[in-house]
C-alpha cells in the first residue's frame, strides 16, 4: 500500500519536483513567446512537445505567453491549451502584453509610430477593454519594453501645459499604468500581478515617460533589459557590452527586492556577444533570465547553441556569485538625471565606458554614505545637494572621480578649484585627434586616433596621463590631494577624468533616437593610459590590474574577482598581489573556464589569459 501511494504521489507531483530542481539553478532560464510565434509553434501537440524537449535541454523553468501585441491576440483556446500543456509538464506560465500600436488598436505616437499616444481616449479605451478580456487567463503579466511615448500631437501639447516633455510623460505613463492597465485587470482578476520590463537605454528613460521612481512602487515586480547586441554595428546603436550590466545595477538600486531578473534577445548578435549578454546579466546580480524570443531559441541558431553549450559555465557563475555583494567604485546617477545640457555637457551612457575600461562601477541612485571611491559625471549635478555631499565625502577621505561635465554643471568655483582648476571649463572646446600619450616618464601610442576634448592643464593638480599634441598636452586624468589644514595628511582627493560621450542633440538627430549613435574612440585608449587610470582608483582588494582596454573587472565579497574580455582574440591580464607574503591568487577551479583561458603564477603576479568574449574567475583565501 505504501509503495502504491508513493507511486501515485510521484505521478501526480513529478512536474512540480522538476520545477523545484530547476529553481535551484542560478540563473533560472525563462522565455517569451509572441502571439504569432504561439500560432506557428504551438498550434499542434507535436509543436508543443518539440519545444518542451528543447526547453528541458537548457533547463528552462518558465514561459511567458504574449496575448496582446499591437492589438493582436491569439485564439483564446490556443492560449489555454498552450498554457495548460506547459503547466502539466512542470513549467511555470505567465502572460505577456506588448503596448505597441496596431492597425485598429490605439492611436500611434506622432513621432515614433510603434509607440502609442497615451493621451488619446481611443488608446485608453482600446487598452483597458482588451486588458479586461485577457486578465483572467493568467495571474501574472509582464509588460514588454514599449511602454513609452514621444507623442507631440495637438492633444499632448495641450495636456502638457507648462511642464517639460519629460515631466509630462512621466506623469502621463504613471497615471496610465494605474488607471488603464492595472485597475481594469484587477476589476476582473483581483489576484493579478504586473511586471514592468524596462529596456536597456537607461539614460533616456525619463525623456520617454519611464518613471523609475514611481513605477516600481505601483508594479509588483521590475525586470531589466540587458540586451546590448553588437557594439560594432549601427543596427541597434553602438552599444557597449557593459550597458546591460549598468542598467541592471542601477535599476536594482532603485527597485531593490522588487527586481525580478534580466531580459535580452538574439538580434544583431554574434554567438559570443549573445552569450556575453547572459554573463553580464549574472555579473550584475540577475538570478532569472528571460530569453527573447522563443522562436529564435527553438530554431537552434548559432547563438542559441553557444548558450546551450556554455550553460554549465553560466550556472556555475550564477551559483558562485549568489548572495555575494559586488564591490567597486560607487557610480552615482540620480533618477531622471541628464548626462547632457545646452552648455556642452556630453556624458550620456558614460557609465558603460567606465565599465569597459575596467574601473568596476557599482551603480547607485542615491548619494553614497560610506563609499571610499565615488564617480560623479554630469548626471550627479542633478541633485541640488551634491556640492554639500562632495565636501562631506572629501572630509572623510574619499577619492572622488569627476568629469569636466560634472564640474561645469555644478558651476561651483570652490569645487572647481578643489579639483585643481582656477577657471571654469569650456566644454565646447574643440576635440583633437591624438595618437601619442604621456604617462609619467613613459610614452604610449594608439593604433587609431583618439579624440580628446582640448581642456587646459590644471594649475593646481598633478597630471597622471595626457595626450600629446603639437599645441601641448591635453590632460586625460589629473589628481589633486585635498590638504587638511589641521593635519599633515590629506583629507581626500579629486581626480578629473577627461571623458566625453554623447549629447541629447546628436542622439535625437540620429535615426537611433534612444541609443549611442556612433562609436567612440574611448575604446582605443592604449593600455598604458588605461592601466594608469586603474591604478589611480583604489581597488576593494590589494590588487593591481594591468591589461588591455575593453576588459571588464568585477569584484565581489568573499575574495572573488571576475574578468571579462570584449575582444575577438585572447588577451592577457596581469594581477599583482600587493600584500606581503605568498601570492594567493588562482583561477577558480569550480568554474568551467573556456578553452584558451588559463593562468600562470610569476612570483607576486598571476598572468591570466582570457578566451575571446569569456569570463575568467579568480579566487583566493
What pLDDT, on the 0 to 100 scale, is given for residue 182? Answer: 98
What pLDDT, on the 0 to 100 scale, is given for residue 536? Answer: 98
Name the CATH topology of 2-323.
TIM Barrel (3.20.20)
CB atoms within 10 A of CB 563: 22
Nearest one of 374, 372, 349 to 361, comparing CA atoms:
374
Measured CA distances, 34 to 95, 163, 195 (Å):
10, 36, 17
Nearest one of 198, 113, 193, 96 to 151, comparing CA atoms:
113
Domain boundaries, the chain: 2-323, 327-536, 543-619
Nearest one of 100, 195, 110 to 154, comparing CA atoms:
110
What pLDDT, on the 0 to 100 scale, is given for residue 19? Answer: 35
Kindly indicate whether the domain formed by 327-536 is annotated with CATH number 2.40.160: no
What pLDDT, on the 0 to 100 scale, is given for residue 491? Answer: 82
Chain centre to alpha carbon of residue 528: 27
Pick the CATH number of 543-619 from 1.10.260.40, 3.10.450.240, 2.60.40.1180, 3.20.20.70: 2.60.40.1180
Are 276 and 564 contacting, i.e. CB atoms less than 8 angstroms apart? yes
What pLDDT, on the 0 to 100 scale, is given for residue 490? Answer: 63
Q: Is the dihedral of CA 31, 34, 38, 41 positive or negative?
A: negative
> Cis ω on the peptide bond leading into residue 293 (within 30° of 0)?
yes
What pLDDT, on the 0 to 100 scale, is given for residue 187? Answer: 98
Are 182 and 159 contacting, i.e. CB atoms less than 8 angstroms apart? no
**Radius of gyration of the chain from Cα atoms?**
26
Are 61 and 19 contacting, i.e. CB atoms less than 8 angstroms apart? yes
Q: Name the pTM for this structure.
A: 0.95
Measured CA distances, 593 to 234, 306, 572, 604 (Å):
31, 14, 15, 23
Stated as kind and residue range, the H or E segment containing 527 is: helix 527-536
What pLDDT, on the 0 to 100 scale, is given for residue 190? Answer: 98
What pLDDT, on the 0 to 100 scale, is given for residue 488? Answer: 60
Which residue has 530569453 as its cell numbers?
291
SS (H, E, C) 388-413: HHHHHHHHCCCEEEECHHHHHHHCCH
What pLDDT, on the 0 to 100 scale, is given for residue 220? Answer: 98
Residues 6 or more apart whose CB falls under 8 angstroms from that of 522 comprise: 353, 356, 357, 450, 499, 501
What pLDDT, on the 0 to 100 scale, is given for residue 511? Answer: 83
What pLDDT, on the 0 to 100 scale, is given for residue 10? Answer: 31
C-alpha angle 339-343-347 in degrees, rounded to nearest 5: 20
What are the residues facing 472 on neighbouring strands? 469
d(CA 51, CA 56) in angstroms, rounded, equals: 9
Mean pLDDT per block of 10 residues along the chain (621 residues) reads: 33 33 79 97 97 94 98 97 98 98 96 97 98 98 96 98 98 98 98 98 97 98 97 95 98 98 97 98 98 94 96 98 97 98 96 98 96 98 97 94 97 95 91 97 95 96 97 97 72 95 94 92 98 98 98 98 98 97 96 98 96 98 91
Helix (H, G, I), strand (E, B) or coil at 282: helix
Residues 6 or more apart whose CB falls under 8 angstroms from that of 511 comprise: none
Q: Is the dihedral of CA 397, 400, 404, 407 positive or negative?
A: negative
Amino acid at each position: 500500500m505504501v509503495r502504491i501511494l508513493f507511486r501515485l504521489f510521484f505521478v501526480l507531483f513529478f512536474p512540480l519536483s522538476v520545477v523545484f530542481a530547476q529553481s535551484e539553478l542560478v540563473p533560472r532560464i525563462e522565455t517569451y513567446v509572441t502571439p504569432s510565434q504561439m500560432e506557428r509553434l504551438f498550434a499542434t501537440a507535436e509543436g508543443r512537445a518539440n519545444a518542451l524537449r528543447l526547453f528541458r535541454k537548457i533547463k528552462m523553468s518558465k514561459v511567458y505567453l504574449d496575448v496582446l501585441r499591437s492589438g493582436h491576440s491569439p485564439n483564446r483556446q490556443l492560449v489555454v491549451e498552450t498554457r495548460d500543456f506547459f503547466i502539466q509538464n512542470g513549467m511555470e506560465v505567465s502572460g505577456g502584453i506588448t503596448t505597441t500600436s496596431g492597425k485598429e488598436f490605439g492611436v500611434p505616437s506622432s513621432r515614433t509610430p510603434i509607440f502609442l499616444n497615451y493621451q488619446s481616449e481611443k488608446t485608453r479605451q482600446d487598452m483597458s477593454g482588451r486588458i479586461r478580456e485577457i486578465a483572467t487567463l493568467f495571474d501574472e503579466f509582464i509588460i514588454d519594453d514599449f511602454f513609452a511615448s514621444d507623442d507631440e500631437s495637438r492633444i499632448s501639447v495641450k495636456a502638457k501645459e507648462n511642464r517639460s516633455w519629460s515631466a509630462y510623460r512621466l506623469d502621463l505613463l504613471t497615471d496610465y499604468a494605474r488607471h488603464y492597465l492595472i485597475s481594469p485587470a484587477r476589476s476582473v482578476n483581483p489576484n493579478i500581478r504586473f511586471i514592468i520590463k524596462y529596456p536597456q537605454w537607461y539614460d533616456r528613460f525619463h525623456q520617454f515617460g519611464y518613471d523609475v521612481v514611481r513605477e516600481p512602487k505601483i508594479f509588483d515586480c521590475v525586470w531589466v533589459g540587458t540586451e546590448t547586441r553588437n557594439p560594432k554595428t549601427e543596427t541597434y546603436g553602438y552599444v557597449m557590452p557593459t550597458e546591460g550590466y549598468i542598467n541592471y545595477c542601477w535599476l536594482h538600486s532603485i527597485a531593490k527586492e522588487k527586481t525580478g531578473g534580466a531580459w535580452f534577445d538574439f538580434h544583431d548578435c554574434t554567438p559570443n556577444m549573445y552569450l556575453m549578454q547572459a554573463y553580464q546579466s549574472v555579473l550584475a546580480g540577475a538570478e532569472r533570465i528571460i530569453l527573447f524570443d522563443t522562436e529564435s531559441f527553438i530554431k537552434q541558431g548559432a547563438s542559441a547553441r553557444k548558450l546551450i553549450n556554455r550553460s554549465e559555465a553560466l550556472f556555475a557563475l550564477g551559483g558562485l556569485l549568489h548572495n555575494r555583494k559586488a564591490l567597486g567604485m560607487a557610480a552615482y546617477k540620480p533618477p531622471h538625471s541628464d548626462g547632457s545640457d545646452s552648455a556642452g555637457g556630453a556624458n550620456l551612457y558614460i557609465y558603460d565606458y567606465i565599465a569597459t575600461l575596467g574601473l568596476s562601477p557599482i551603480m547607485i541612485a542615491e548619494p553614497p554614505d560610506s563609499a571610499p571611491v565615488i564617480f560623479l559625471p554630469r548626471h550627479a549635478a542633478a541633485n541640488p545637494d551634491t556640492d554639500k555631499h562632495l565636501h562631506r565625502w572629501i572630509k572623510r577621505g574619499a577619492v572622488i572621480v569627476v568629469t569636466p561635465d560634472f564640474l561645469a554643471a555644478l558651476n561651483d568655483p570652490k569645487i572647481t578649484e578643489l579639483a585643481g582648476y582656477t577657471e571654469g571649463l569650456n566644454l565646447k572646446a574643440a576635440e583633437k585627434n591624438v595618437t601619442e600619450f604621456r604617462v609619467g616618464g613613459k610614452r604610449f601610442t594608439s593604433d587609431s586616433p583618439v579624440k580628446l576634448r582640448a581642456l587646459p592643464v590644471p594649475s593646481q593638480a598633478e597630471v597622471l596621463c595626457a595626450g600629446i599634441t603639437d599645441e601641448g598636452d591635453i590632460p586625460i586624468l589629473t589628481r589633486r590631494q585635498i590638504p587638511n589644514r589641521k593635519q599633515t595628511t590629506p583629507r581626500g582627493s579629486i581626480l578629473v577624468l577627461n571623458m566625453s560621450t554623447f549629447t541629447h542633440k546628436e542622439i535625437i538627430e540620429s535615426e537611433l533616437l534612444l541609443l549611442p549613435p556612433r562609436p567612440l574612440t574611448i575604446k582605443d585608449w592604449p593600455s598604458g593610459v588605461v592601466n594608469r587610470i586603474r591604478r589611480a582608483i583604489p581597488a576593494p582588494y590589494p590588487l593591481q590590474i594591468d591589461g588591455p582596454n575593453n576588459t571588464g573587472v568585477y569584484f565581489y565579497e568573499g575574495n572573488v574577482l571576475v574578468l571579462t574580455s570584449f575582444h575577438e582574440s585572447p588577451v592577457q591580464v596581469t594581477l599583482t598581489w600587493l600584500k606581503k607574503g605568498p601570492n594567493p591568487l588562482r583561477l577558480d577551479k569550480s568554474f568551467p573556464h573556456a578553452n584558451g583561458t588559463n593562468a600562470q603564477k610569476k612570483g607576486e603576479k598571476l598572468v591570466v589569459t582570457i578566451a575571446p568574449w569569456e569570463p575568467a574567475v579568480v579566487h583566493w583565501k
